[in-house]
Structures are given as C-alpha cells and as structure tokens.
Amino acid sequence: PFWKNSTQAAHRAFQRNMVWGVVQNFKAALKYRGGWRGLFEHMYTNGDYPFKMGTYIGCDAAGNRYYENRVDYPFGQHRWVEPGDIHNFDSSSIPPEWHGWMTSMNDVPPSQEDEYFAAASAQIQDSCRSNAPDKHNVGHQEELFNFHHLHNQSQIRSRGYGIGNPVVGLPPGAKDSYYTQPGSPYNDASTTPAPMIGDLDEGKGGGRPYKSDKWAERLRTPEEKEAIAKENEDEAQKALEAYKLAQQQRIAMMRKRGGGTVVG
C-alpha cells in the first residue's frame, strides 16, 4: 500500500538524518574538545558534556568553567559547569556567587557583576548625601579562602586517625577543618588534657603515663602482667601461711587454757 511505502521511506530518512546528526555531533565535539583524548576524557567523567556545547561565560578560582546555551536546550538545562578537576568534583565546589547564576536566581554572572553594579548604581537617585565607601548594597566583604576551593568544609577530614585524606589533599597529621560545636570532644577549645596519676616508666625517665589503673593495665606488656600476677600469687601464699601459723598458735593457746583445773 501507498501509506506503508511512505512510512518506510520516512523511517529510512529519519534513520539517515539521525546517523548524520550523530556524526556531526562527533565532529563538532572533537573540534570543541581538542581531539579524541579530550572527548573521551569528558565522556567518561562528565556524562553528556562532551556533546553539550554553548557559550563560555566565565571561570572561577577553582578552574570550573561555566557555559550557557539558550537555543538548543530547555530552561533548567541551558546552564552548566565543567569541573576544573574532573577527578575530584563535588556540587559544593561551585562558589555561592556562581551557584546563583547556575540556578537562574540571577542572569548576571559574577564575571560581569562589577559592570552590573556600576550600571545599576548609576540609575539610583540618592535622597541624601552619604559618606559610605561602598556604592552598592553588597557592602564590604572580607576575602574568603577555602581549602582547595572546597566550600563544604565537612569534607576536609581525615579518613583515619592521623592519615590525612588524599581525596581532598589533606596531608597526614593535619587538623580537620570542619566545624565542631562548642562542647564537642573534637573542639580544641572545649577539651582539657587528661590528668595523669602515674607513669609506668617513671624510673626510666617516663614514657608511659596513665590516668587510671585500668589505663595502666592496658599499657603493661604481657611479661609485666605475668610478673605482677606471680607477685600477687606469692603474696597470697605468704598471707595464707601466716594465717595458718596464727591458727596453730591460737589452738595451742586454747589447749593450755584451764590446765590443772579440778572439776567436781
């Protein structure tokens, strides 16, 4: 039938166009990514980014690159970020000023904020004279430094006691950077050194202090524990022998008591 032949022809044309579109996307992505290496690197780390192309908007201090394409993608997908460190990226790595632009809270990226503030402040008519040094509502801001550009400080913690965290670049022995509540045992300002009541190596100059008898028991070596057990056993044996001797003396004294007494 005519309609069947027309449908098959349309399907074959669609397949040809689809294949042609994929080929064109590959060609454009190869050019955009600088060759096969860049293409495969982005393909296996960033998902659809190898074939997602748009206008470069700006870059932050961590090397994250921000793009926009309002023509080929719907709202909500028209802005995206390509991480500067593709092997160690977290959503919290996006600075707050770029996060507002990424989520369409504003249309002015941080790279154009100065021009925006200047243009907006020029339209403001001052009702009275002001000696304030700032010309916009943001006011004075202290420069903020984040460890390896990680804005979520809870990630900067050791993976084990004193071993650091190679994922975020925290060296061994370095202090964790995440916030701790006052009173927490992990808060240096809320902890006090434990008072020590003795040292197992006091005669040798110290080295094994302890804060309780239970703590001292944990520090002792098996040989020391065996020697203490032997000493306790000897003392117990001596105490038992002294007790037996006292009992014998008591019995002897009791037998002498009343000797020569005439009954009747």
pLDDT in tens, 46-79: 665 667 778 889 988 888 889 998 888 888 888 9
Closest C-alpha to 60, from 92, 37, 14, 19:
92
Closest C-alpha to 57, from 48, 65, 49, 47:
65
Q: Is the pTM above the cut of 0.85?
A: no
Phi/psi of residue 170, nearest 5 degrees: -85, 120
Q: d(Cα 211, Cα 199) in Å, to the nearest integer? A: 9
Instruction: Name the average pLDDT for the chain.
Output: 79
pLDDT tens readout for residues 145-169? 677 777 777 778 888 888 888 877 8
- Confidence class for position 118, pLDDT limits 50, 70, 90: confident
Q: d(Cα 258, Cα 190) in Å, to the nearest integer? A: 74
pLDDT tens readout for residues 15-57? 666 677 677 777 877 777 777 777 777 777 666 566 777 888 9
Q: Is the pLDDT of residue 13 over 70?
A: no
Q: Is the pLDDT of residue 264 over 60?
A: no
